[in-house]
Chains A and B, each alone.
Chain A
Amino acid sequence: MKRIILPLIAMFFVSNLVAQQDSKPSKTQFMIRGYGSAGFQALNDEGEKESSFNNGTFAPIILFKFSDKFMFETEMEFAYENGELETALEYANAMYTVNKYITIRAGKFLLPYGTFMERLHPSWINKLSSVPLGFGHDGITPSSGVGVELRGAFILNGSRFNYALYSTNGPTLNDGNDEPEEAGILHFDNYEDNNKNKSVGGRIGFLPFTDSSTEVGFSFLNAKVGDKDSNYKDVSSNLIAYDFSFVKKVNSLGGIIDIKAQYNTSVTDDANYIEVHEDGDEEEYTFENSSDSFYAQLSFKPTMSASNFLKNIELVGRYSELNTPEGAEWESNVNQTAFGVNYWLSWRSAIKVNYQITDGTGGHGGGRIDNKIFTIQWAFGI
């Protein structure tokens, strides 16, 4: 890990040194940005209580701008979990601006599947310290992909539109051979394709009002997901998401109202999987492989208050739910309600105090899910 961190630190100081020595801006620009967080968590999981200062995370973003049209960007993530330093490559891609309406990206990039993972998940932007159900680990939505993408935005007679169209390696189907309890689940982190088919996906966003306060979006992703040369080679998945955003300073309320919502569906062709019983007997089974998830979030920040303290306070509430297929080993019906009070130290740094209740059935344990989490998180962008 030192092999990664030390060069990063060295690059940061060298770039600053060079910048100080030469005040004339260079055509090639290099910049390290990113975000991080640290916090405390108290968990009550069906009566079992535990608490801990939890993992600090740091996600440096490196931007390398070669010209007005050409840029490379990458984001890594470092987190300390279970006594070990975990690392991940969130994205690493080159982008080229073809013209005013088209930019092409290639490499690993955040997928424009809805808006949460692409725009809202960084801890200094996310208004709560967790992600909604359906996203992240064990989620049904993709976060990034390796491939190529065209994207852009345009104004048509006073209405704004934005679009993205991409092709990636696509999701892979867990056929249950190695992990029978996950048979039928889709995995999205694929650096190498498991078949010849490439996924096709995209999103179109529409901002109907002149003040850009409202955006509605439609996303899709379609791919064959089974391993080539396997019984699952013809199994396809079709993912669809609808997203909504409303953000506006409302004078009568004295502050900024922010509403976000996203509905995701995932439908995979029916297939037969093998269940191995305790006595070693094998039994074939199938199920309707459809999942969906939803979240809606409302926040209010009284930015017009006369009090400097109140101006920096933000109240947040979020409801989310996740329903995975009936009959699958990973069947679940879960809902989650989260509340938060944030205090913004600056435009990019907040102390978040959250309380989250998760309730439902299923998951990998197969039983009842009933937990409550209290968290305090300090999140900051750099």
Chain B
Amino acid sequence: MADNKEVDQISGTETTGHEWDGIKELNTPLPRWWLWTFYATCLWALAYWIVMPAWPLISSHTTGLIGYSSRAQLAKSVAEAREAQGAFLDRIEAASLEQIVADQELLEFAMAGGGSAFAVNCSQCHGSGAAGFVGYPNLNDDDWIWGGDLEAISHTIHFGIRSDHDETRFNEMPAYGRDELLTPEEINDVAEYVLSLSGSGEDAAAAARGEVTFAEQCSACHMESGEGDYELGAPNLTDAIWLYGGDKAAVVDTIANSRAGMMPAWTGRLDEATIKQLAIYVHSLGGGE
């Protein structure tokens, strides 16, 4: 090659000897800084293969001199995070719900921790904003079926509603229509009466007839006034909030076929500290009593 070097007349640069339609490729040397950078990256790559995990083997991979592992790194940072939370979690475990709420630092920790536990465990039914859906209570409002103070919320989370736990909250409303305990006309009258309790009924005469039936059939749980009872888990029928809908068809449906939503018991699935944080989070949403 050395003896048949061809030099381009115009630029004075050697050519590679490649030619396309009379156009010749100049053999321009690489810039020195570029070349040295290139050599440095080659060295870096070689060193990287040796120092870091790099090559796949049949059932594993080369581990590298310093034994780096991104999995171990993750485990380490998770452990560090646990460690950092540990002090708070210990205090939360030891304190009563009232004590936690009274301690601003613990309250903030519990609300944040409860919020993330809620997103993982509760939001599937209650919604990410805890606003619920038809049949799944809105936890932001001030209407509670089983009670809305810290203890009551904590109890509900622990044992659930109609769950498989022995201490579960449980009640049962008769299916007045399906089981033919009331005639359709009577059900219609009771529905009118129930709607009138919150001022939305239309048929005053039917409501007056329904009041008699209500007193006989419903007031044992829902109370004479219709305001319900936390102990029995009987909803307040006089307020503006309807779990299954507040129009007449929905109320008739409820009386005729009953309702029986369920919530799992979380004790045993979640640890005590998490349940406390959840109770405090739900209580802080705005309706806590």
Query: Do they bind each other?
Result: no
